[in-house]
């Protein structure tokens, strides 16, 4: 259980932060940047939910689950498995969280016609915000993949899988809220030459 009774601790005043295993890292460390970007994506999803909560309850339930998963993902990335005894079982993203996203993608995608062009991040407010969350989740994925490429930085492979599916989900959701794709704004190559 997490208990936060004092918000400022001053322990980060010198530019470091603690990982879940107690190790201190600089605030610009790649691992910190990766889980910080997951947090940023989560916040963007929260903003998107301001535009989905009352209009798209099925989608909003999915986004609610995803926001919780994003905290799990951040906790996973913040606690690298280096084989040390932490005295507790660290929280990890698991396969069922990835497969749940795949199922949600399939549910929404069933209502969409196949794309014949790329779409612009536009249409409705909900769609634009979901596209913004998508691009942030893609950045989180790139950072996590970069982190995983370092031999000294173990990363749970389900973290990268989850982030890959998350951006796919947000893309499909952005189309789905645009009148199931009928209100998508399509890219017209070279239109303004």
SS3 17: strand
Structural domains of the chain, ranges and CATH numbers in brackets: 25-81+88-183 (1.20.1200.10)
pLDDT in tens, 19-71: 888 888 888 999 999 999 999 999 999 999 999 999 999 999 999 999 999 99
Residue 149, both tokens:
């490429």
- In the chain, which residue ranges form alpha helices assigned H by DSSP? 30-49, 57-78, 95-109, 125-148, 157-177
Print burial letters for 90-110: b (CB count within 10 Å at least 16), e (below 16).
Answer: eeebeeebbebbeebbeebbe
Query: Is 90 exceeded by the pLDDT of residue 150?
Result: yes
- Among 83-87, 112-116, 175-179, 186-190, the range scoring the smallest mean pLDDT is 83-87
Separation in Å, CA 75 to CA 9, 31, 155: 19, 11, 12
Q: Average model confidence (pLDDT) for the chain?
A: 93
Tell me the mean pLDDT in the region 179-188.
94
- Above pLDDT 90, what percent of the chain? 78
How much is the pTM? 0.92
Give yes or no for residue 10 having a pLDDT over 90: no
Tens digit of each residue's pLDDT (9 = 90 or more) over 112-145:
988 888 999 999 999 999 999 999 999 999 999 9
Report the pLDDT value the prediction gives residue 1, as an integer from 0 to 100. 55
Q: Give the pLDDT confidence score for residue 4 in this predicted structure.
A: 64
């Amino acid at each position: 259980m997490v208990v936060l009774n004092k918000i400022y601790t001053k322990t980060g005043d010198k530019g470091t932060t603690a990982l879940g295993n107690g190790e201190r890292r600089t605030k610009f460390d790649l691992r910190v940047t990766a889980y910080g970007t997951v947090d940023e994506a989560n916040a963007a999803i929260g903003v998107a939910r301001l535009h989905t909560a009352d209009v798209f309850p099925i989608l909003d339930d999915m986004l609610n689950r995803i926001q919780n998963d994003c905290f799990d993902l951040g906790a996973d990335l913040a606690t690298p498995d280096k084989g040390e005894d932490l005295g507790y079982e660290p929280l990890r993203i698991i396969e069922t969280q990835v497969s749940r996203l795949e199922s949600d993608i399939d549910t929404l995608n069933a209502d969409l016609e196949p794309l014949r062009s790329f779409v612009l991040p536009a249409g409705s407010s909900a769609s634009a915000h979901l596209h913004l969350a998508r691009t942030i989740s893609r950045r989180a994925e790139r950072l996590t993949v970069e982190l995983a490429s370092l031999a000294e930085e173990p990363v749970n492979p389900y973290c990268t899988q989850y982030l890959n599916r998350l951006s796919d989900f947000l893309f499909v959701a952005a189309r789905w809220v645009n009148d199931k794709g009928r209100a998508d704004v399509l890219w017209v190559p070279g239109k303004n030459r």
